[in-house]
Structure 1
Amino acid sequence: MNVLGIDIGYSNLKLAYGPQGAEPKVLLRPAGAAPADRLGEKIGGNGEEDFLRVLVNGEPFVAGLSPDRAELWSRELHEDYPSTNSYRALFHAGLLLSELDQIDLVVTGLPVNQYLNPELRERLAAQMQGEHQITPRRKITVSKVKVVPQPVGGFVDHVWSLQDATEIEDSRVLVVDPGFFSVDWVLISNGELRRQSCGTSLEASSVILDEAVRLIAEDFGGNVGRERLEHTLRNGHDQVRLFGERVDVAPYLKKAADKVGPIVSTRLRESLRKENASADMVLLVGGGAGFFELAVKEAFPLLKVSTPDTPVFANARGFWRMGV
């Protein structure tokens, strides 16, 4: 049985894939996608392309590149993202990267507020299922699709990693998933989703980056741009160049996170008010986990806050594990 766990984010495309009976392969690519004719020409010529070429409704697209690489093409940063051609291009790129011609099951997630809308879930599943013309000479068939609330993948991945899963069976686990566009959370009690305590906040990683860009501009007089700062962090660098000067980004990101994080933690506490018992632990997953860790710990000082070693892959790995 071939399973693909795919997490198509606003900043990164994350994959976990492979047959049942082995650990999944994982891949991370930037979540930029645009029509092929919007890609700027690379100076210096004939180097290897660091993106994928796919078809979307018969039209050539590039996908898996930094979002700032496309010209005259706006990044999709809204709730209807799954219905866009950019999202479809990233899905086709994920299918291509899986190296499979036939996929028995694709498991993916939606932000909590979108998952709670059955029409959106069904539309996404129908969009992903069936035969897909990925390139002019490559078709890939998806037999079945399962759509889950985004943070549930991180929960399943965490349970899978435990030596003794019985320690979490009767626990109430608050799973917080900070992404680029939204911060999503779910409360899982005795293995069941507590819908009344699930939620979404748009005060996410993109807002922290915007605030850091504003703070840098105040001190240095120029705009480094959100995408440029995002690209710097994705590549593991700690400085960005502005007017010929290297700027350490860490202090500005911390100051921005200190401002935005408490807004999210307040929403988290409010969402648990309807519960007759508190959470037992907090699980922090997702690519933006580091931005919100301090705020979450301060909001729940009596609870253990756990973060996996590679939180950016937690949802995709969990999706794959749910599939197998």
Structure 2
Amino acid sequence: MEKLLKEIDVERIVRAVDVGRGNVKFIASTKNEELKCEMFPAEAHPTEVAHEQEGWGTKRKTVGIPVGELIYEVGPDANLAADVFNANVLQHDRYCESDEYLALLLGAVHYMDVPSIDLLVVGLPVATFKLRKVVTSLERRIEGEHRLGSGRKVSIGKVRAVPQPVGALMSYGLQHNRLAEVRKERSLIVDPGRRTYDWLVTQGMQQIEKRSSSVNRGMFDVLQSIADGIGRSTSSQFRDYDAIDRALRTRKRPVVFQQEYDIEQHLPLARKIPEQAVAEMMRYVGDAGDIKNILLVGGGAFFFKPALKAAFPRHTIQELKDPVFANVRGFQHAGADLARALWSTAADGGTVSRSISTEAP
């Protein structure tokens, strides 16, 4: 049987994608057991025809993904395809059911450059993952053959959706070489993303559903609060969210109307965003006295950490290395484990459950 599993592992392709509200993270390759992670902005710009490079300049790094009757331009330079309308506003609570979501996911598959995928693992916000009909519908929509850019096609066999923070728990166990212990412990995984603030309470690798959820208080709300403050101060409609994001991360002043602008005056109000998100989470998890591990991941981790630490002063907050890719790395490892179970069971003529990391009893 061990020899059979090794042969199956060689023949099968497992990949993971995390379509976030700010960026699409994915496993580009698994060569020599090393996971190569890549990402591009979560922007999908619709058009009737595929983009063709004009007669000058460097071709932008995007691909046209056909979905329905339109073509969606996605990729690292997707912002260059943007018009006045901001495509990010499409990221509502039913985001995963939209054509834009599918275009972003297939864009990631395009950049993986594989002819087929036997098992694809995708992540969803915790609140969305509780909607089982939505999850099942999404998995079925992704399974099958799809058109990609440049006339290519890809066949996707099985798809499994998991709560986004569960990948971070798997990554934490692997990074600290204590996966066996984590499988027996109660953990709280906190994931401040672009649009949503997700938290997941688990017993081992199983979700405790009634203590896990999401709230729409992510980094976008922080950036919008500061942008509104700049707009009031300068009598303008300032909307350069990326400039504000860079300023927060580098502690360098953004340039507004050709002048460096001090955003410090707007931070007290912006810091209320993580405080509100953490306060909502505490309704579900209390003082976390029964929780062994508190893990903080996601692109907004740096801004949300002070509020989290203030809420749980008796705990050590664990931050993962490379937190932006923590979830998708964990998805890949979880997918590899599930693949072995699926294929070994199939080889024995049995069946295996469609769910992984669902709620604990």
TM-score (structure 2 length as normaliser): 0.80
1:128-167 aligned within 5 A:
128-167=142-181
Pick closer, same or farther for the CA change 1:235–1:297 going to 2, 3 Å. closer
**Greater strand proportion:** 1
1:21-36 aligned within 5 A:
22-36=33-47
1:272-283 aligned within 5 A:
272-273=285-286, 278-283=290-295
Does 2:179 match 1:168? no
Q: Which of 19, 23, 34 is residue 12 of structure 1 equivalent to?
A: 23
Q: Give the Cα–Cα distance (whole angstroms) in 2 for the partners of residues 253 and 95 of structure 1.
A: 40
- Aligned sequence identity (%): 25
Cα distance per residue 1:101-130 (max 9 Å; x no partner):
111111011111111111110111011111
Does 2:283 match 1:270? yes
- Is the contact made by 2:166 and 2:205 (CA closer than 8 Å) also made in structure 1? no
1:277-292 aligned within 5 A:
278-292=290-304
Q: Give the Cα–Cα distance (whole angstroms) in 2 for the partners of residues 253 and 130 of structure 1.
A: 48
Q: Give the Cα–Cα distance (whole angstroms) in 2 for the partners of residues 120 and 318 of structure 1.
A: 22
Pick closer, same or farther for the CA change 1:270–1:33 going to 2, 3 Å. same
1:42-61 aligned within 5 A:
45-57=56-68, 59-61=70-72
- Is the contact made by 2:170 and 2:179 (CA closer than 8 Å) also made in structure 1? no
Q: Give the Cα–Cα distance (whole angstroms) in 1 for the partners of residues 202 and 169 of structure 2.
A: 9
Q: Give the Cα–Cα distance (whole angstroms) in 2 for the partners of residues 253 and 320 of structure 1.
A: 39
Q: Give the Cα–Cα distance (whole angstroms) in 1 for the partners of residues 206 and 238 of structure 2.
A: 44
1:91-102 aligned within 5 A:
91-102=105-116
- Is the contact made by 2:129 and 2:163 (CA closer than 8 Å) also made in structure 1? yes
Gaps of 5+ in 1: none
Q: Could you say which residue in structure 1 is the equivalent of 2:125?
A: 111
Q: Could you say which residue in structure 1 is the equivalent of 2:206?
A: 192
- Is the contact made by 2:187 and 2:203 (CA closer than 8 Å) also made in structure 1? yes
- Is the contact made by 2:212 and 2:284 (CA closer than 8 Å) also made in structure 1? yes
CA RMSD of aligned residues (A): 2.9
Cα distance per residue 1:161-202 (max 9 Å; x no partner):
122334434322100111111111111123321111001111
Q: Could you say which residue in structure 2 is the equivalent of 1:318?
A: 330
Q: Could you say which residue in structure 1 is the equivalent of 2:225?
A: 211
* SS across alignment from 2:33: coil
Does 2:304 match 1:296? no
1:79-98 aligned within 5 A:
79-98=93-112
Q: How many equivalent pairs are there?
A: 322
Gaps of 5+ in 2: 1-11, 337-361
Displacement of 1:138 in angstroms is 0.3
**Greater helix proportion:** 2
Compare CA radii of gyration and give the structure with the larger one: 2
